[in-house]
Amino acid sequence: MDALVEILLQYGYAGMFIAAFLSGSVVPFSSELVMFGLIQVGLAPWPLLLLGTLGNTLGSMTCYWVGLLGNMRWVERLFHVKPEQLARAEHHFIASHAITEDVNCGTYEVMALERLEELFRQHDTVIAVGGSGLYIRALCEGMDDLPEADEALRTELTQRLEKEGVAALAEELRQLDPTYYEQVDRQNPSRVMRALEVCLQTGQPYSSLRTGEKRERPFRIVKIGVNLPREELYARIDKRVELMMAEGLEAEARAMLPHRALNALQTVGYKELFAYFDGEITKEEAVALIQRNSRRYAKRQLTWFRRDEEVHWFRPDEDEAIIACIESCTE
């Protein structure tokens, strides 16, 4: 690091631009050291500041495009799905949106139903796969009509989330809507922030706007759940995290650093690595936290879906039994 700083100092203003570009990209480099050194040798601060801003912006843009263009590759690498396997069936809503796009349960419901209408013109059966209970509920039962997000308020809450943490937002939600506070997953930043957002935007408790009315769908729904004994499930989760790290999760997270405040990145895997990049924990601790938080998330998912009496449960390797269940339910 010191040797690189010395080299960049020799290039003056150009060195400032290069240092800022590197700092804005995935390279863990501090451009402030170069700026301070160049000021000490007599270069004007304002041109250095302008070049630093330009370099940092362009460096951040490369991170964005690396992340955006690499989405499908990550699907193939992290889930160990070969391109020819993906090609056997047409996929929808995989690597379809940039992290900067505001996609929530309500917008997903609209998009998914529109796509299903198209697909059912060509196919008798369509398979939806996912793990987020709220998104599956949106698809199968519909979501309440809630106000669209206020961008200024969303930005303010996102900044507060980064500075104060999810616990502080959850505490404010408790004061404004104690009913929903008892129901929500208080470790899920997206859920907490959206509920608080609605409370502040409407002046009403979020829970009072949730009717819970189930909407009719013009198609039959068969719900299949897959599960394993806890020890086997947790061992698979730990192994999967290790594989994700080996396949480049750290580099992917570094590429997303300039966008760390976005709602889409307040998830398991990114937030632990961000803490590692900030020097708050070691890399080994970050990996252990990802494994622990993934296990906790899986436990919450199972708790959610076990409350749904319409779910038929199987092991993931019981292919024939799953197919037989689907066929019997759709006869």
Using one digit for the tens of pLDDT, what is the confidence trace for 16-28?
788 777 766 655 5
pLDDT at residue 225, as a whole number: 95
Structural domain contains residue 94: yes
Nearest alpha carbon to residue 132 among 100, 110, 108, 159: 108
The residue with greater pLDDT, 124 or 71, is 124
User: Both 77 and 61 in a single domain?
Assistant: no
C-alpha–C-alpha distance, residues 134 and 141, integer Å: 10
pLDDT of 73 over the 60 cut: no
The number of domains in the chain is 4
Residue 85 confidence class, pLDDT cut points 50, 70, 90? low
User: Are the CB atoms for 185 and 191 separated by under 8 Å?
Assistant: yes
Residue 86 confidence class, pLDDT cut points 50, 70, 90? low
User: Both 74 and 92 in a single domain?
Assistant: yes
User: Both 49 and 91 in a single domain?
Assistant: no
C-alpha–C-alpha distance, residues 140 and 291, integer Å: 30
pLDDT at residue 299, as a whole number: 92
User: Both 300 and 248 in a single domain?
Assistant: yes
Structural domain contains residue 133: no
Structural domain contains residue 111: no
Q: What is the CATH number of the domain that holds 285?
A: 1.10.287.890
Give the end of a domain, one of 19, 42, 65.
65
User: Both 242 and 308 in a single domain?
Assistant: yes
Give the end of a domain, one of 42, 65, 88.
65
pLDDT at residue 19, as a whole number: 73
Query: Hey, what are 129's tokens?
Result: 């796969």
User: Both 235 and 327 in a single domain?
Assistant: yes
pLDDT at residue 140, as a whole number: 92
Across 91-120, b (16+ Cβ under 10 Å) vs e yields eeeeeebebeeebbbbebbeebbeebeeee
> What average pLDDT does this structure show over 252-256?
91
pLDDT of 83 over the 80 cut: no
Range from 9-23, 232-246, 252-266, 311-325 carrying the lowest mean pLDDT: 9-23
Helices (H), ranges, the chain: 2-9, 12-24, 31-40, 45-69, 71-78, 83-87, 105-119, 133-140, 151-164, 166-176, 178-183, 189-202, 230-246, 249-255, 270-277, 283-306, 319-329
Structural domain contains residue 104: no
Structural domain contains residue 301: yes
pLDDT at residue 70, as a whole number: 47
Quick one: which H or E segment has residue 225? strand 223-226
Residue 278 φ/ψ region, left for φ over 0, alpha for ψ in the -120 to 50 degree band, beta for the rest: alpha
Q: What is the CATH number of the domain that holds 159?
A: 1.10.20.140
User: Both 303 and 258 in a single domain?
Assistant: yes
Give the end of a domain, one of 159, 183, 209.
209
Residue 3 confidence class, pLDDT cut points 50, 70, 90? low
Structural domain contains residue 276: yes
Using one digit for the tens of pLDDT, what is the confidence trace for 147-206?
777 788 888 888 898 889 889 999 999 999 999 999 888 888 888 988 999 899 888 888
Structural domain contains residue 131: no
What is the three-class DSSP state of 7?
Answer: helix
Structural domain contains residue 118: no
- Bridge-based pairing state of the strands 223-226 and 311-314: parallel
pLDDT of 216 over the 80 cut: yes
Residues 6+ apart with CB under 8 A from 30: 1, 23
User: Both 90 and 75 in a single domain?
Assistant: yes
Mean pLDDT of the chain: 83
Provide the residue range defining the domain that includes 61: 2-65
User: Both 197 and 271 in a single domain?
Assistant: no
pLDDT of 273 over the 50 cut: yes
% of the chain beyond a pLDDT of 90: 38
Q: Which own/partner pairs from 114-120 qualify as long-range (CB within 8 Å, at least 24 positions apart)?
A: 116/219, 119/92, 120/219
pLDDT at residue 63, as a whole number: 55
Nearest alpha carbon to residue 325 among 224, 248, 233: 224
Measured at the CA of 80, the angle between CA 79 and CA 86, to 5 degrees, comes to: 85
**Other beta carbons within 10 Å of 136:** 20
The residue with greater pLDDT, 22 or 294, is 294
Quick one: which H or E segment has residue 223? strand 223-226
Residue 69 confidence class, pLDDT cut points 50, 70, 90? very low
What's the whole-model pTM score? 0.61
| Sign of the dihedral through C-alpha 20, 22, 26, 32 | negative
